[in-house]
Amino acid sequence: MYWTSRQPWASLDLVTVLDGRPVDKAPRRRGKLRRLWSSTIGKKAVMGVTGAVLLLYVTVHMLSNLKAFISPANLDGYAVWLRRLLDGLLGYEGFVWVVRIVLSLSVLLHMVAAFQLARRARAARPAGYQHRPKIQGGYAARTLRWGGVIIALFLVYHLLDLTTGDVNPHGVHGAVYANVVASFSRWYVTLFYALAVIALGFHLRHGLWSGLQSLGASTAARQRIIQRIALGYSLFLTIGFLSVPVAVLTGILR
């Protein structure tokens, strides 16, 4: 038999058994987290949070890529600065590894939540349901599946190319500018990169639209504003990412 303690230390969030031994409520909290994850609202919340983390990363990554237009030393120096950031606390490259772990978890949770929500949506459709109504967001929403596959495949290649250097013609650790030029000097790599970035743009457009939609009730004017913001920001990122490989392929960067 259990009873809730009314002692002064009850604020410690403990349940006390009759013999006076405290019992931690942590298992109950873990149960709440499991219930939250199993709910549709919880999965949508996970997608929103992880999507925001990934959006922040791709924005910073795109802007840092533009340092190639300043000078090779500027881009290479930025890479060194990242590796030394908080090195007194985390060690050399410690900050980079923290970012990698957070990004990996965000991508995994985002993909799992998206897959499970899509499966629930299909299961909820009535039996014999044949015609699927048009999804708001149009082409971007209907191509998230293949777009996600292209992005995932490209990420694997991109890491082998510009992170580990295994498939990069130059492949010198720390020589970021030279590695970038060596990689995008090959037209097929630039083409693959362009396809992945365009797929990312469609994905971001739909994701931003969905996220902004969830902030409040919609009106016709609000819909137009949300669509313009989502389209404008996705174009901003897409053009920014494409500018460097196109500049390399056309000889502007060499």
- 10 Å CB burial of residue 93 (0-12, 13-18, 19+) is middle
pLDDT digits (tens, 9 = 90+) for 24-79: 555 666 677 788 788 888 888 898 899 999 999 999 999 999 999 999 999 999 99
Percent share of the chain, pLDDT over 90? 52
User: Residue 102: its pLDDT value, please?
Assistant: 96
Residue 235 lies in a domain: yes
The model carries a pTM of 0.80
- The answer to whether residue 34 sits within a structural domain is no
**Domain assignment of residue 61, yes or no:** yes
- Residue 44 has a pLDDT of 86
73 occurs within a structural domain: yes
Q: Is residue 1 part of a domain?
A: no
Q: What is the pLDDT of residue 118?
A: 80
User: What total number of domains does the chain contain?
Assistant: 1
SS3 22: strand
Q: Specify whether the CB–CB gap between 106 and 50 falls below 8 A.
A: yes
The reply to whether 62 falls in a domain is yes
Residue 20 lies in a domain: no
Domain membership flag for residue 72: yes
Amino acid 20: pLDDT = 53
pLDDT digits (tens, 9 = 90+) for 160-183: 999 999 999 999 999 999 999 999
Query: Which structural domain range is residue 235 located in?
Result: 40-119+134-249
Please tell me whether residue 2 adopts helix, strand or coil conformation: strand
Is the distance from CB of 151 to CB of 196 less than 8 angstroms? yes
| Nearest Cα residue to 82 out of 70, 68, 97 | 97
Closest CA to 211 of 78, 102, 110, 72: 110
